[in-house]
Amino acid sequence: MSALTTSELTAIYTDLHAHPELGFAEHRTAGIVAERLRGWGYAVHEGIGGTGVVGVLTNGDGPRVLLRADMDGLPVTERTGLPYASTQVTTTDDGQEAGVMHACGHDVHVTCLLGAAAALADGDTGWRGTLVVLFQPAEELGRGARAMLDDGLFATVGGAPDVVLGQHVLALPAGVVAVRAGVAMSAADSLRITLHGRGGHGSMPETTVDPVLMAAATVQRLQGIVAREVAAGESAVVTVGSVRAGSEPNIIPDRAELLVNVRTYTPEVRERVLAAIRRIVEAEAAASGAPQPPEIETVTSFAATVNDPEATERTRSALGAALEARRAPVEAVGGSPAVVTPAPHAASEDVGELATAAGAPLVYWFLGGHDPAQFADVDLAGAAAAGQQPRGIPSNHSPYFAPAPEPTLDLGVATLVAAAREWLD
């Protein structure tokens, strides 16, 4: 066999993009992955943690290296206008109809890992050891990695890895990789807060305890946590992403629900912010005379993603060499290859759970996926160091998020192959 061609990679990518699947429902994607891996000689393990797929390829004694990609899409209605745009729809847990889209680039991740798996299984491998390629479900839910681990992942595939490697496509120019040692991505906690009131007629509010007013006061007060309880040298984000209450203008409901998202970089700040949220919610409920205490439920929880410093520096040089070797296709679209050091990213990932459970170092980097011409006036190194998102370029989770297949896919394969070979060799 031989490595996948550019046209083959693009065909896989556009097919996956047009057929996204939500977390723990990636049956079609998992089937495609398993079939491909078997054809390349991998020992394939399916259904780990629900829909997870792992391929194992051994070539003599040596290190055990794990490459990881996530497979799930998001409940987002696509608006890119691409000829291969998703038209899939779903019904959310609250009964609302929504589109389904690969709005975070997991279709890129799956395609690149398939390409790397093909290249590393080529007849003249040039490496020794065991390669583990892991396709994970439900990253967006923050539960996919844990589900695979709880399902006996490492026992199933023959042992824990010596290193965990992975990448995430981002709104950076194709040809650029961003990687940093230490904390690379924030911890994230999503909370569902239910405030209880006492409903009644809108004309007689004095007979009620209004949960809408309670929710409004709570939302406003929550914004004071970062402004007044987090030091200038620390960092945190508190976002109220949803407020739900009532159905009619003249009926005061008996409850209101808030969905809150928290991003932090250190355990100390994380603990302090979560404690402040609980204190404020309970106090506002008491101040409103709520008939029962509020309920605070953790919906998802991600630990911070922390790259091992020594492993990161070792891998960085391999990534730079891979980009330099691909200089021609990058220059063809007006870019230049580079490895930059970003600020910690406020998005979150569960890939670190795999490394923590294995007791292995993690190296996780960002892969540029957009037309370099869109970044012509951007000081890329400066923007990355400051953690700035270029204006006007759709970010991950946007309904307009659309990585350029080329040269992104070829570069994504090359970086995974180079990183794996660095550790396998």
Q: What average pLDDT is seen over the chain?
A: 94
Whether 245 has a pLDDT exceeding 80, the answer reads: yes
Question: Helix or strand or coil: residue 125?
Answer: coil
Residue 349 exposed, middle or buried by CB count within 10 Å (0-12, 13-18, 19+): buried
CA 296, chain centre distance (Å): 24
Pair of tokens at residue 315: 């891998």
Of residues 136 and 373, more confidently modeled: 136
Whether 389 has a pLDDT exceeding 70, the answer reads: no
DSSP letters, 295-310, are EEEEEEEEPPEEE-HH
Strand 255-264 vs strand 187-196: parallel, antiparallel, or unpaired?
Answer: antiparallel
Q: Which of 313, 342, 339 is nearest to 324 (CA)?
A: 339
Would you say how long the chain is, in residues?
425
Whether 281 has a pLDDT exceeding 90, the answer reads: yes
Distance, in Å, from the CA atom of 284 to the CA atom of 286, rounded to the nearest integer, reads: 5
Kindly indicate the confidence band of residue 292, based on its pLDDT and cuts at 50, 70 and 90. very high
- Global pTM reads 0.92
21, 26, 70, 422: the active-site residue: 70
Active-site annotation holds for 8? no
Residue 93 has a pLDDT of 73
pLDDT, one tens digit per residue, over 35-75 is 999 999 999 999 999 999 999 999 999 999 999 999 999 99
Interacting residues of 323 by C-beta distance below 8 A, sequence separation 6+: 175, 177, 330, 337, 338, 339, 411, 414, 415
Q: Which of 110, 111, 130 is nearest to 120 (CA)?
A: 130
Active-site annotation holds for 140? yes
State the span(s) of the chain assigned CATH 3.30.70.360: 187-302
pLDDT, one tens digit per residue, over 325-379 is 988 888 887 888 889 999 999 999 999 999 999 999 999 999 999 988 887 776 6
Whether 142 has a pLDDT exceeding 70, the answer reads: yes
Distance, in Å, from the CA atom of 85 to the CA atom of 101, rounded to the nearest integer, reads: 8
State the span(s) of the chain assigned CATH 3.40.630.10: 6-185+304-424
Q: Which whole number is the average pLDDT over 299-307?
A: 95
Interacting residues of 266 by C-beta distance below 8 A, sequence separation 6+: 183, 234, 304
Whether 205 has a pLDDT exceeding 60, the answer reads: yes
Of residues 96 and 230, more confidently modeled: 230
CA distances from 304 to 34, 134, 189, 272 (A): 30, 21, 10, 16
CA distances from 311 to 73, 148, 180, 220, 411 (A): 30, 24, 11, 43, 21
204-213, long-range: CB within 8 Å, 24+ apart, which pairs?
205/252, 208/252, 209/288, 209/289, 209/290, 209/291, 210/252, 210/288, 211/245, 211/252, 211/253, 211/254, 211/255, 211/256, 211/288, 211/290, 212/245, 212/246, 212/252, 212/253, 212/256, 213/288
Strand 129-136 vs strand 64-70: parallel, antiparallel, or unpaired?
Answer: parallel
26, 78, 139, 140: the active-site residue: 140
> For the CA atoms of the chain, what is the radius of gyration?
23
Residue 1 has a pLDDT of 46
Q: Which CATH number is 187-302's, of 1.10.10.10, 3.40.50.280, 3.30.70.360, 3.20.19.10? A: 3.30.70.360
Q: Please give the class, per CATH, of domain 6-185+304-424.
A: alpha beta
